[in-house]
Chain A
Amino acid sequence: MTNLIEYLQARLKAVVTICFVVLAGVAASSLLVDTGHAHTWVEQHVPFFWSFFGFSAAAVIIGVARWLGGSGIQAPVDFYEVSNSTPCEEE
């Protein structure tokens, strides 16, 4: 398996191209599939709906996580050790 991965890594450009082709194929196939099983109107009437949904959901999640991390949720690894050790040091 290691060899296979290294073989593919050596041909990264070709692998990426194939992935794009497959992705386009999947998106195109969605136009042909019967949407009778779809639960909502948008699924039935917006072409490539799930492609847009997947991309935008991932982008939004990354954006929100990045924003939250930057707004103070992500703290130094010794955050609690420092706040816990303060009273002891005073002693």
Chain B
Amino acid sequence: MASSFIHPSLLLILGALLLPFIQGPLRKPYLFLVPLLALGAVVLNTTLTGNFATVLFLDWQLVFGRIDKLTTVFALIMALMAVIGTLYGLHVDRAGEHMAAWIYAAGSLGTIYSGDYLSLFFFWEMMAFSSAFLVWFRRRKQSLSVGYRYLLIHTIGGIVLLAGILLRYQAVGNITFELMDIAHPELYTWLIMIGFGLNAAMVPLHSWLPEAYSEASFNGAVFLCAFTTKTAVYTLARACAGMDILVVLGVIMALYGVIYAVMENDIRKLLAWSIVSQVGYMVAGIGIGTDLAINGAVAHAVVHILYKSLLFMGTGAVLYMTGKTKFTELGGLYRKMPATFFFTIIGCLSISAAPGFAAYVSKSMIIGAGFESHLNWASWLLMFGATGTFMYNGLKLPYFLFFGPNNCSAATWKKAGDPTWNMLIAMTLGATLCVLVGIAPGFLYAMLPYTMNYNPYTAYHLLETLQLLGFATLAFFLLKKYVEPVDRICLDIDWLYRQAGGGFLWLVKGPLQWCDTAWGEAYRVVGLSSLMTLSRFWSWFDWHAIDGVVDGIARSVRGLGGKVRVLQSGHIQMTLYYAFSLAAILFVTFIFFQLL
């Protein structure tokens, strides 16, 4: 059995590495084939249970293929998303963009299949680095800085996670990726939770998401909206299920995202805020931690990937065709983009939890689990947030984008139209799945981690939802003028770290620069001057003392040599004269000393 495990990440990475060499008419079939093979591998893996692809590395047992129900459901939706996302961007020529997207998907699948923290961390970072390219490929002036900020934040998150992993290894003695002892949390428990939570865009660690996802390329955003946050949801469900703090954080996320989405003018940023809000439901579900809540969180993650990617495909089509993403530069597009309008509406109804559409079958599980666990405050606030979700995503987005005042310039209106065939097929696929899950959730429920008997189509739930949606619509149309988009940006918590960055820059350019200059001046005046005086003394000493001794000896030898040289006349009679004279002096001297 062990040999039958095929790692889908390996297929995607190999496929990405070979992609630049596949040119011409083979490119598109190849683009479609590779993620399809990865999906096939995941489907084959669903028949397995246990640990596969285990490798002994130093003292650690690495598990690249841990398979259970939680793994399987996440791996399936991620692999499916890789297929839909690639199909959507099939006409994109840049091989690099497809490579980044596939390696990103491979990172997500690798994380999901990891049974240990070391391989998880490797795939985790692979996701962070490859996804930054999906922002950079937008190639706008600001794309570079946004991508770097995104990467910086994820690198910090990675360091926090790594610190947690190392501390846990020191305390526990293994690197197995499993449910932590949440009843007795240690420092490493919090660090690991924060590391995962940053990728889940937990408030206040969320600002990277709206900024990066709204700046990504039109097809890059389709990948981004699916993988990072939902992979983080998977890791939280695996390691942190039942942590009470997650309920609080999840509720804050759900409401925070709603308020910002209502204020937002950029259609893709609105959807990004919506991710913060919707992931909040999943995080809250994981925090509640009961079987129903975990099932609800997982089901919501699956349907969220479906409808959110559909919405990003719809708004991506608007961006691709018109080059615009602001409500204040768009409007009335249903006439020019009817197919896009239709698919986007399905996405809007799906996220709004309208009966018959995707989120209807999942969101109520989390809220119901909250009530069952006597966390009524959380469930009420999540219901409150759900009304907001419908208002900004089910009403504001389609109304101001496809109806409402037409703010398109003549050029924008001329360019507007339904996109290419592959984009339409991808949207058709996404919309079909949203409706299928909504009307027949049984196959989704069968894949969830815990066995349960849940029926979302009770008369009470149906009427509760219809009342909620109907009267929220009434409020929206009565108060529409107060939510009319304005061409402004919304300041978020990133303002704080931008201020901190500005403060750091000021510190470097101001006080630190002053200190550096003052030190340089002091060195020049005091240090350099004394050094020069000292140098001059040593130079004098060297010249007059050291060189004086050495040169003096040399000069004495030279002087003596000069004097003695006169003796070397070259005449034999003179030489004999000096020799006999010296011998006579020596002889006389000897006799003289003998006589004394």
Report whether A40 and B371 are in contact in the complex, using a CB–CB cutoff of 8 Å. yes
Q: Which residues of B contact A68 (CB under 8 A)?
A: 259, 263
Please name the residue on chain A nearest to B466 by beta carbon. Answer: A26
Q: Which of these binds chain A: B90-98, B124-132, B480-488?
A: B480-488
Q: Which residues of B contact A54 (CB under 8 A)?
A: 387, 467-472, 475
A5 contacts partner chain B, Cβ-Cβ < 8 Å: yes
Give the interface SS of chain A, mostly helix, strand, loop or mixed. Answer: helix
Please name the residue on chain A nearest to B372 by beta carbon. Answer: A39
Report whether A50 and B263 are in contact in the complex, using a CB–CB cutoff of 8 Å. no
A38 and B379 CA atoms in complex are apart in Å by: 13
Report whether B467 and A30 are in contact in the complex, using a CB–CB cutoff of 8 Å. yes
Report whether A50 and B468 are in contact in the complex, using a CB–CB cutoff of 8 Å. yes
Query: Which residue of B263, B341, B458, B476 contacts A37 across the interface (Cβ within 8 Å)?
Result: B458
A64 contacts partner chain B, Cβ-Cβ < 8 Å: yes
A34 contacts partner chain B, Cβ-Cβ < 8 Å: yes
Report whether B483 and A26 are in contact in the complex, using a CB–CB cutoff of 8 Å. no
Report whether A77 and B466 are in contact in the complex, using a CB–CB cutoff of 8 Å. no
The total number of A-B Cβ pairs within 8 Å is 144
Contact residues, A1-46 vs B (CB, 8 A): 1-2, 5, 22-23, 26-27, 29-30, 33-40, 43
Known: A37-B458, A57-B472. A50 touches B342 (CB 8 A): no
A59 and B473 CA atoms in complex are apart in Å by: 10
Contact residues, B255-284 vs A (CB, 8 A): 258-259, 262-263
Query: Which residue of A64, A77, A79 contacts B259 across the interface (Cβ within 8 Å)?
Result: A64
Report whether B468 and A61 are in contact in the complex, using a CB–CB cutoff of 8 Å. no
Chain A's nearest CB lies how many Å from the CB of B336? Answer: 9
Q: Which residues of B contact A69 (CB under 8 A)?
A: 263, 486, 488, 490
Q: Which residues of A contact B459 (CB under 8 A)?
A: 33-34
A34 and B488 CA atoms in complex are apart in Å by: 47
- Give per-residue flags for B384-407: 1 if the beta carbon is below 8 A from chain A beta carbons, else 0: 100110010000000000000000
Q: Which residues of A contact B486 (CB under 8 A)?
A: 69, 74
Please name the residue on chain B nearest to A35 by beta carbon. Answer: B460
Chain B's nearest CB lies how many Å from the CB of A23? Answer: 5
B414 contacts partner chain A, Cβ-Cβ < 8 Å: no
Chain B's nearest CB lies how many Å from the CB of A73? Answer: 5
Q: Which residues of A contact B479 (CB under 8 A)?
A: 58-59, 62
Chain B's nearest CB lies how many Å from the CB of A27? Answer: 6
Q: Which residues of A contact B471 (CB under 8 A)?
A: 23, 27, 50-55, 58
A60 and B103 CA atoms in complex are apart in Å by: 43
Contact residues, A73-91 vs B (CB, 8 A): 73-77, 79-80, 83-84, 87
Report whether A40 and B376 are in contact in the complex, using a CB–CB cutoff of 8 Å. yes
Q: Which residues of A contact B387 (CB under 8 A)?
A: 53-54, 57-58, 61
Chain A's nearest CB lies how many Å from the CB of B389? Answer: 10
B498 contacts partner chain A, Cβ-Cβ < 8 Å: yes
Chain B's nearest CB lies how many Å from the CB of A34? Answer: 6
- Give per-residue flags for B337-358: 1 if the beta carbon is below 8 A from chain A beta carbons, else 0: 0100110000000000000000
Q: Which residues of B contact A80 (CB under 8 A)?
A: 489, 498
B463 contacts partner chain A, Cβ-Cβ < 8 Å: yes
Query: Which residue of B338, B368, B476 contacts A1 across the interface (Cβ within 8 Å)?
Result: B338
Give me the interface of B with A, judged by CB distance under 8 Å: 258-259, 262-263, 334-335, 338, 341-342, 368, 371-372, 376, 379, 383-384, 387-388, 391, 458-461, 463-464, 466-472, 474-476, 479, 482-483, 486-491, 498, 502, 505-506, 509
Q: List 12 A-B contacts (CB under 8 A).
A: A2-B334, A34-B460, A43-B464, A50-B463, A54-B470, A54-B471, A54-B475, A55-B472, A55-B474, A73-B263, A79-B491, A87-B506
Give me the interface of A with B, judged by CB distance under 8 Å: 1-2, 5, 22-23, 26-27, 29-30, 33-40, 43, 48, 50-66, 68-69, 72-77, 79-80, 83-84, 87
Closest 6 CB pairs of A and B: A39-B371, A58-B475, A54-B471, A50-B467, A57-B387, A65-B262
